[in-house]
Chains A and B, each alone.
Chain A
Amino acid sequence: DAGVIQSPRHEVTEMGQEVTLRCKLISGHNSLFWYRQTMMRGLELLIYFNNNVPIDDSGMPEDRFSAKMPNASFSTLKIQPSEPRDSAVYFCASSLTDSNEKLFFGSGTQLSVL
């Protein structure tokens, strides 16, 4: 299995631009998580989907952030408009609902907003 695949690996953009991060889940997994890692706050859960349905989006910073799961194997995280404080590493992770700890993370997207 190829694991969780994220794209792009690196994204550099200017303030005000739209940014779209992409994630492909491991086949058969039904839970999807978006995390953000910063020096100040560490790893934070942004949003959690189960069976394509957003269950908990309380970690999404503000309305500029949105996430979708158009199908069972793919998700996007969009930031519009982007701001310099959004600069961070964004991780996608997937799991089976009953697997407890078994989160499988992608390699992350390093986002820099200038």
Chain B
Amino acid sequence: DQQVKQNSPSLSVQEGRISILNCDYTNSMFDYFLWYKKYPAEGPTFLISISSIKDKNEDGRFTVFLNKSAKHLSLHIVPSQPGDSAVYFCAAKSGGSNYKLTFGKGTLLTVNP
């Protein structure tokens, strides 16, 4: 049973516009959430994270929003650039484990020039 779900396998946006990637989770014990970015033939790289005590975290063009009541988080990229084209993975972990990340299956973002 997928505890972290990314229901959109792919997303296509125009350069300069906003990209919104969504993630839902089912485990109420999750208290830390992360986004990883993956280019073809490379491993995932850490992008941004958020603790459950916050509802927003921003880093440059990237902002992650957390809605605990809905068990939903989203990653906003503004403005989107062609170099942002990659697979984005949502991941979560619970306070009971300081190492075990549960990943979603990923969303392929394509930013068109």
Contact = CB atoms under 8 A, between A and B. Distances in A.
A102 B48 CA distance: 10
Contacts, number: 52
A76 to B, nearest CB: 18
A43 interface: yes
Interface string B16-51: 000000000000000010100000011111100100
B49 A105 contact: no
B103 A43 contact: yes
A71 interface: no
A103 B99 CA distance: 9
A20 to B, nearest CB: 19
Contacts of B2: 42
Interface string A76-114: 000000000000000101000110111111111000000
A102 B36 CA distance: 10
B106 A42 contact: yes
B105 interface: yes
A33 B98 CA distance: 13
A34 interface: no
A52 B51 CA distance: 29
A105 B41 CA distance: 12
Interface of A: 4, 31, 33, 42-45, 48, 50, 55-56, 91, 93, 97-98, 100-108
20 contacts: A4-B43, A33-B99, A42-B89, A42-B104, A43-B103, A45-B100, A48-B100, A50-B99, A56-B99, A101-B34, A101-B49, A103-B44, A103-B46, A103-B101, A105-B43, A105-B44, A105-B45, A106-B43, A107-B42, A108-B41
The 10 lowest CB-CB distance pairs between A and B, nearest first, are A105-B43, A42-B105, A43-B103, A101-B49, A101-B34, A105-B44, A106-B43, A107-B43, A107-B42, A91-B43
